[in-house]
Structure 1
């Protein structure tokens, strides 16, 4: 039973392998945390935040990424009280809390009287994954994008983000930062799209983060003029095939519970639900 604050400490580069072993207990759900550990070496200078761990003796048994994204890693609802204490001590920089539903619910129960209410709460989001060939034929016109596609691709990225999140990524002077993010995804080979004869993006998706085990897809978008034609199914089938060939063997994403059309399309591609997540956006 947790009775002292001494169970929790800040993690750093020396803890990288232990933290990666922790994420590997559920490598698909924990792909974001694993990716961040690999690219930052758990160094706060590169994290733009901190990663905390709970130990039993010398064994790391739970973690929490605390930055713009607050993400629990292998936590039980009982663990989050200690991490919530640490979060409340920091200058708040959290824009999103995302993780397994019961853990996020428990975390919010601790901090809700000190933090402002979320702008939006999505309490039960199916987490889906596929580790086989897609069940429908991939769209042969979906391809990895290049730097030359940026002019056509960027407006679709802004439109998708605004539709999904409810605010433009360009608000509050964020255009340069968001455009740099889109360029980064293109340069990594993590951006996929289909263009029509006019050069418009009619389908697109990106890999948000990846590890040797899994890649998490985000930003799935079909142009409003072309919705209802099945482009999301064959487009996602193409993304699955390309990602499994070039990035990681398992493809995952999470979707809003109410988005029955998207959930049906993903199911036809071959995605299956493996967890329920919650996302709180501030």
Structure 2
């Protein structure tokens, strides 16, 4: 079972031996690849062997590379996530627009529902009730932009009327870091299932290679927001980054069962693909 999130922060060499990742730094450590869900390379001085990178891709282990500021910058994605990738591409290109509109509306509703729940936890009941009223107003394709209106109310309630997601501050830096980690987890599941991250349900930015991941991750953003609020950070340092990465190991309920978030993402993504392929939005499964 893949569950470990391995973060490499110091200078070392990584190679492959007998299905283990071998970490050669100040100490010699080994981790079996079957246990790893995510490998994050924080230090730009880390070296890796091609054999290891190839095996990580084969096993669909998400590899995230950070820049010189230790912020997520890129990721390793395999060309082929499943044996029938070509068929999946044809199917994805042909996804029904009407179904896509309904699925996107359900995703937006669940995101707003999660945002309202977080506001309620912080006793911001008036704003939570306003967000709940938006849920019934969401139309297919979110043509009334309830998501945008909800976001403004949500962030202003949490951080004040002068707050903007465009501001350069610690809260935004932490959220951006957490969102990047979350997006990588979704891209992993999309490619592992044989689909293409470029072709979204709602997002269709020509310059965004992760349109589908950007779509699917929306209801999960409030988990990152909650982590940032609980930390109340004064900087985006190593401790804060580790806490944000550990969100992937939080437990949530999906399909009436407790699951690590990283496994819940897999269940949820597969439900979205089922909903789109069968034109049955009722197949969607959100975490509770």
Q: TM-score, normalised by structure 2?
A: 0.26
**Larger relative contact order (Cα-Cα within 8 Å, sequence gap ≥ 6):** 1
More strand by share: 1
Q: TM-score, normalised by structure 1?
A: 0.26
More helix by share: 2
